[in-house]
Amino acid sequence: MRLTCTVNGTEQQVDDVWEGESLLYVLRERMGLPGSKNACEQGECGSCTVYLDGLPVCACLVAAGQAEGRQVGTVEGMADADTLHPVQQAFVDAGAVQCGFCTPGLLVATHDLITRTGRPSDAETREALAGNLCRCTGYEKILDAVRLAADRMGADR
Amino acid sequence: MSTPTRTPTGAPAHLTGPGSGGVGDDAQRPDGVLKVRGEFAYGSDLWMEDMLWGVTLRSPHPYARILAVDTSAATQLPGVHAVLTAEDVPGEKVYGLELADQPVLAVDVVRYQGEPVALVAADHPDTARRAAALIRVDYEVWEPVTDARAALGHPTRDALHESDAEVTELSRESAHLHPEGNLVRHLKVRTGDPEPTADVVVVGEYEVGMQDQAFLGPESGLAVPADDGGVELYVATQWLHVDQRQICSALALPPEQVRLTLAGVGGAFGGREDLSMHVHACLLALRTGKPVKMSYNREESFFGHVHRHPATMRYEHGATRDGQLVYVKASIWFDGGAYASSTPAVVGNGGTMGIGPYVVPNVHVDCYGAYTNNPPCGAMRGFGSVQTAFAYESQMDALAVELGMDPVELRCRNAMEQGSTTPTGQVIDSPAPVAELLRRLEAMPLPSTGDGALDLRDMPGGVSNTTHGEGVRRGVGYAVAYKNVAFSEGYDDYSTARVRLEVIGGEPTATVHTAAAEVGQGLVTVEQQIARTELGVEQVTVHPKDTTVGSAGSTSASRQTYVTGGAVKAACEAVRAELLARAELLVGRPVPDLRLAGGQVVSDTEEVAVPLVDLLGDEAVEQTVQWRHRPTEAIDPETGQGFAHVQYAFSAHRAVVDVDTELGLVKVVEMACTQDVGKAINPQAVVGQIQGGTAQGLGLAVMEEILIRDGKVVNPSFTDYLIPTILDMPPMRVEVLEYADPHAPYGLRGVGEAPNISSGPAVLAAIRAATGLPLARVPVRPEHLTGTC
């Protein structure tokens, strides 16, 4: 089938999509956007979190056809050219990136959290990011990064 | 010989930036920006225009004879390019890290569920999977051997309680999973009085379940056939050169025709020490003449790598009335599963360090590794030391109860220190602040007991609203552990570093080239920091990790900052010596204190300032150095005595837990850790290692276990194999001590594993303190706490 959707503000059209393919597969293998990661492919780890019409979803659980005509936002669309988004910069500065495989999904989830809540409490952050597994950091520096990003984004408002 | 002409999209490039930070600074990772932009290419991200997808057909049975394999239907499916079986392996049919006993593809017999039997390459991953399902394999199914002690000819676990468990020659011969029998290794430690007696004796039996590394980035890579008949393999792994050796053996190709480059690695933790898809992708690429990508899904990943050995352990501690340890006797059984992997070395660690960081005059340890038909077990962070720490720290708590003594006091009274002798006869010749680590933990404030307003999120069970505090009891537990750093028992452990200094864009720029695998821990940052400090330049580029430079050894055993760090330092020193010699020629006289700083050759005593830009001109200075730590030695096979380990890392944890005793739910309230790291090369990364290691230890204590029933894995998914989420991890206090090891570069100590060892036993101790239950098995399940199992 043919799939047309808007990814990071650019219209994308791909052909020969098999109906069984997920949005994650199409992004990674057909659109050249491998930033969203394939750690579990069953919605448990959050590594493939993307925006679909403004809501964070696990791209592995979205059939490619469901994205027809919709807006998709991935980690590749976060930075403004060479300038990292404050959420991205905070993850780098706080040391919240080790192997980095969970990072793209956590960035999207954190971006959504701060956009919704402004300055989340630690308890709110833990609830909001409970669907994003990280095996390297023990999460302490991810919490540091969320606080840092929220402070910086708050200061920008 | 022709050179490779094609490079996949996402092939690793040189890492540059961030441009500042020497040894001891919180330098940022050179791959950090790529990772947050989604542009860092992991093994599963590699792509080529005409590539095929490879998949593996695996055995559904833990133990069976293969009667026939029929690949004809699979071969005929449109889109399929190749279907391969063991007959298509041109070289050695078996491989292995320490013993070559594991088939590349099953030969006649399968010995564990998930053993690779056949391979398919097709133009779409789902086509390949459908083709694999069309391969017909006829099995004669055998009853699997699933208990390590039974495999060694012992009585089963229940009967064992009544009997001694010596491995006899007879029992060894009765074993038959492999031609040499089922005993992979039996390590003995014997020191002091063989028949000691003591005022107070505690005996305990303990069990540790099978833990998975659960790295997030799946096993993956891309093999590209080369014009010279060889192959280029881009792969996420932990030791390129040991992979290369095994791949060459299986492919019957010389090393120059099997060229490896490290693809981005999404975590490792030991699970990438053994081969996974490496040979398979190369076989398919060489057969089809096309690039072949393989990337496991999560379920396959659970079958595609080795796990942490489950262990059963029996300990007996004897002490004087005033709490001085007199003796420890221990029997430790590791279930190695179907193939050896690194079981011999795991047994080495489990046995030599099996009584913990304590001074004990009389020690009698037997440590066994056995073959069974369970999944193969091998390396995981903590490597043989994680399991025994649960046992010896539980014993210390039990002894403290028996003596009516504070558990921290008992530990401190028996703690190793510099100058102590280990049970293997080694004198600890660098700081060993075991007691101080514990005392510092004790001095930290405890978290509040939450007398404020009720917040369900702080309760065991969380927003499931299972309790408002009724039935909830708090407990505090301590544990301390130690672990060898780098390879032991006489292994020739070295790393190679090539450092080049030249002027690029008007600036002196160093390039560091090693084959040391960056798996997330931040070694690439450390390499830059060392080069900046040693060469006095800001711009340091990290060359892609590949086999065009000599081996760096494995990214395991907490060894890379020590050994590859040592190699990079040594190579920088060689470059520096050449530069200083040139500078002296230029100055025209000997200057004793020339050094490199700020991009110049300078002297503190004389007026010298030679910019490196001028000194180098168009030339590059390059040095390649192979660097070794001081040698260790093999231990005596009958007594275990010898200088087995080059360095030890020490850490301690305090855990605070709340337990809902009615439902058996545990909430870890806080973890605190103290660790001596000798010298923190990158303090931010050191703390990150401690926090991450703490999380994996906590996971094993309360939730992580691969469940095996009759040799079959019950829970191969992240739905059923649970790792800690951000809700499960509590706030952590971390205190880093820096007592230099005079034998190590910069005085540093390996960091990564120790905190993974002490955290779980502290959690277990805290749950025992909260509940008063003996709890001799991890992970602790709700039914262990409610008595309903």
- In which order are the strands placed within the sheet that holds B621-628? B539-542, B507-513, B494-504, B621-628
pLDDT of residue B19: 82
| Partners of residue A97 in chain B, C-beta under 8 Å | 29, 32, 35-36
pLDDT of residue B150: 83
The contacts of residue B525 (CB under 8 Å, 6+ apart) are B21, B27, B28, B29, B30, B682, B685
- pLDDT > 90 in chain B, percent: 91
Average pLDDT over residues B231-238: 98
How is chain A split among helix, strand and coil, in percent rounded to 5? 40, 15, 40
Q: Pick A86-156's CATH classification: 3.65.10.10, 3.40.50.11440, 2.60.40.420, 1.10.150.120.
A: 1.10.150.120
* Of A41, A47, A97, Cβ closest to residue B36: A97
Please judge whether A137 and B691 are an interchain contact, meaning their C-beta atoms are less than 8 angstroms apart.
yes
How is chain B split among helix, strand and coil, in percent rounded to 5? 30, 25, 45
> What residues 98-127 of chain A have any CB closer than 8 A to a CB of chain B?
98-104, 107, 123, 125-127
User: Do residues B279 and B317 both lie within one domain?
Assistant: no
- How would you classify the pairing of strands B665-676 and B647-660? antiparallel
pLDDT of residue B181: 82
Any domain includes B562: yes
Q: Residue A152 has which token pair?
A: 């910086």
pLDDT of residue A16: 95
User: Where a domain ends, among B356, B378, B400?
Assistant: B378
Any domain includes B30: no
Instruction: Give the C-alpha separation, B148 to B368, whole Å.
Output: 9
Please judge whether B719 and A135 are an interchain contact, meaning their C-beta atoms are less than 8 angstroms apart.
no
Torsion of CA B768, B772, B773, B774, to 10 degrees: 70
Confidence band for B170, pLDDT divided at 50, 70 and 90: very low
Give yes or no for residue B107 having a pLDDT over 90: yes
User: Do residues B223 and B202 both lie within one domain?
Assistant: no
pLDDT of residue B180: 80
Any domain includes B712: yes
Give yes or no for residue B1 having a pLDDT over 80: no
Confidence band for B701, pLDDT divided at 50, 70 and 90: very high
What is the CB-side half-sphere exposure of residue B574 using CA atoms within 13 A?
17
pLDDT of residue B594: 95
For residue B658, list its beta bridge partners: B474, B667
Short-list B292, B370, B257, B326, CA closest to B123: B292
pLDDT of residue A17: 96
| Partners of residue B718 in chain A, C-beta under 8 Å | 39-40, 42, 44-45, 133
Q: Which residue has the higher pLDDT, B159 or B688?
A: B688
> What residues 50-79 of chain A have any CB closer than 8 A to a CB of chain B?
74-76, 78-79
Instruction: Give the C-alpha separation, A134 to A143, whole Å.
Output: 12
User: Do residues B126 and B236 both lie within one domain?
Assistant: yes
User: Do residues B613 and B519 both lie within one domain?
Assistant: yes
B76-98 residue pLDDT tens: 999 999 999 999 999 999 999 99
Q: How many CB pairs under 8 A join A and B?
A: 181
User: Where a domain ends, among B281, B303, B325?
Assistant: B303
CATH number for the region A3-75 comes to: 3.10.20.30
A20-37 residue pLDDT tens: 999 999 999 999 999 999
Give yes or no for residue B748 having a pLDDT over 60: yes
Residue of A nearest to B302 (CA): A40
Q: What is the 3-state secondary structure (H, E, C) of B746-789?
A: HHCCCCCCHHHHHHHHHHHHHHHHHHCCCCCEECCCHHHHHCCC
Please judge whether B44 and A38 are an interchain contact, meaning their C-beta atoms are less than 8 angstroms apart.
yes
Instruction: Give the C-alpha separation, B312 to B226, whole Å.
Output: 48
pTM: 0.96
B277-296 residue pLDDT tens: 999 999 999 999 999 999 99
Q: Where are the domains of chain A?
A: 3-75, 86-156
Instruction: Give the C-alpha separation, A62 to A48, whole Å.
Output: 11
- Distances, alpha carbon B256 to alpha carbons B231, B244, B547, B753, in Å: 9, 10, 9, 34
User: Do residues B131 and B249 both lie within one domain?
Assistant: yes
Domain count of the fold of chain B = 4
> What residues 26-45 of chain A have any CB closer than 8 A to a CB of chain B?
28-29, 32-42, 44-45
Please judge whether A126 and B726 are an interchain contact, meaning their C-beta atoms are less than 8 angstroms apart.
yes
Confidence band for B179, pLDDT divided at 50, 70 and 90: confident
Give yes or no for residue B157 having a pLDDT over 80: no
Measured in angstroms, the CA of B261 and the nearest CA of chain A are apart by: 17
Residue of A nearest to B458 (CA): A123
The contacts of residue A8 (CB under 8 Å, 6+ apart) are A33, A72, A73, A74, A76, A77
For residues B530 and B566, is the Cβ–Cβ distance under 8 A?
Answer: no
- pLDDT > 70 in chain B, percent: 96
Please judge whether B726 and A130 are an interchain contact, meaning their C-beta atoms are less than 8 angstroms apart.
yes
Please judge whether A88 and B522 are an interchain contact, meaning their C-beta atoms are less than 8 angstroms apart.
no
CATH number at residue B293: 3.90.1170.50
Please judge whether A125 and B726 are an interchain contact, meaning their C-beta atoms are less than 8 angstroms apart.
yes
- Distances, alpha carbon B764 to alpha carbons B95, B657, B735, in Å: 38, 9, 21
* Of B36, B216, B729, Cβ closest to residue A139: B729
User: Do residues B130 and B153 both lie within one domain?
Assistant: no
Please judge whether A28 and B729 are an interchain contact, meaning their C-beta atoms are less than 8 angstroms apart.
no
| Partners of residue B267 in chain A, C-beta under 8 Å | 98-99, 101, 135-136
User: Do residues B370 and B455 both lie within one domain?
Assistant: no
* Of A28, A47, A92, Cβ closest to residue B216: A47
CATH number at residue B578: 3.30.365.10
In tens digits, what is the pLDDT along chain A, a chain of 157 residues?
A: 999 999 999 999 999 999 999 999 999 999 999 999 999 999 999 999 999 999 999 999 999 999 999 999 999 999 999 999 999 999 999 999 999 999 999 999 999 999 999 999 999 999 999 999 999 999 999 999 999 999 999 976 6
Give yes or no for residue B379 having a pLDDT over 70: yes
Average of per-residue pLDDT values in chain B: 95
* Of A34, A89, A95, Cβ closest to residue B685: A95
Q: Which range of residues forms the domain containing residue B717?
A: 428-483+647-786
User: Do residues B660 and B723 both lie within one domain?
Assistant: yes
Average pLDDT over residues B410-418: 98
Give yes or no for residue B178 having a pLDDT over 90: no
Question: Does ipTM surpass 0.95 in this model?
Answer: yes
Residue B184: Cβ-neighbour burial (10 angstroms; 0-12, 13-18, 19+): buried
Confidence band for B5, pLDDT divided at 50, 70 and 90: low
| Partners of residue B519 in chain A, C-beta under 8 Å | 99
pLDDT of residue B177: 87
B42-52 residue pLDDT tens: 999 999 999 99
Instruction: Give the C-alpha separation, B682 to B676, whole Å.
Output: 14
B439-484 residue pLDDT tens: 999 999 999 886 678 889 999 999 999 999 999 999 999 999 999 9
Please judge whether B216 and A101 are an interchain contact, meaning their C-beta atoms are less than 8 angstroms apart.
yes
Short-list B343, B203, B347, CA closest to B640: B347
pLDDT of residue B523: 98
Kindly state the helix (H) or strand (E) to which residue A56 belongs, with its residue range.
strand A55-58
User: Do residues B312 and B370 both lie within one domain?
Assistant: yes
B484-523 residue pLDDT tens: 999 999 999 999 999 999 999 999 999 999 999 999 999 9
B519-555 residue pLDDT tens: 999 999 999 999 999 999 999 999 999 999 999 999 9
* Of A36, A99, A130, Cβ closest to residue B725: A130
| Partners of residue B33 in chain A, C-beta under 8 Å | 84, 92
Residues, chain A: 157
pLDDT of residue B169: 41
Confidence band for B154, pLDDT divided at 50, 70 and 90: low
Give yes or no for residue B362 having a pLDDT over 60: yes
Confidence band for B175, pLDDT divided at 50, 70 and 90: very low
Count the Cβ atoms, other than its own, within 10 Å of residue B454. Answer: 10
User: Where a domain ends, among B628, B660, B689?
Assistant: B628
Average pLDDT over residues B770-789: 95
Confidence band for B596, pLDDT divided at 50, 70 and 90: very high
User: Do residues B437 and B572 both lie within one domain?
Assistant: no
User: Do residues B187 and B94 both lie within one domain?
Assistant: no
Measured in angstroms, the CA of B28 and the nearest CA of chain A are apart by: 7
pLDDT of residue B451: 67
